[in-house]
Amino acid sequence: MSTSTIMATVAGLSLSLCFGGAFAEERTLSGSEIKAWISGATLGGATSGGGDWRAKYDPDGTYTVEVLGSSWSDEGTWAVEGDTLCTERTKKARGCTSITHLGGNEYSTTDDRGQTTKMKKLE
């Protein structure tokens, strides 16, 4: 076997080991998984404007969301319907999102308009 063939094989194996696990874990959560994951949790991520947001989902079905470093905040209710998380806030119309586990502590939501948001569980 030539040196270049060995190097190509090693490079391919290294990429597979580095990235293969993350792709293998990616999956959409079921409704029961969403409820168990989000009830009592604090989530956070980046806004489209480059800031950071944080949302606290209380077990009683209420939640608050804020953009850190600003005065913007909102509150509302949450519920799991089928395999989606549905929220309604005072400053935003009702919407539902699927939640995908990307691997580790990385998740993303895709709302009913197709907009995707990445997030992590903070607490």
Going from N- to C-terminal start, the domains of the chain cover: 26-121
79-85 mean pLDDT: 96
CATH of domain 26-121: 2.40.128.640
pLDDT tens by residue, 26-79: 999 999 999 999 999 999 998 877 889 999 999 999 999 999 989 999 999 999
pTM, full prediction: 0.74
Q: In the predicted model, is pLDDT for residue 21 greater than 90? A: no
3-state secondary structure the chain: CCHHHHHHHHHHHHHHHHHHHHHHHCEECCHHHHHHHHCCCEEEEECCCCCEEEEEECCCCEEEEEECCCCCEEEEEEEEECCEEEEEECCCCCEEEEEEEEECCEEEEEECCCCEEEEEECC
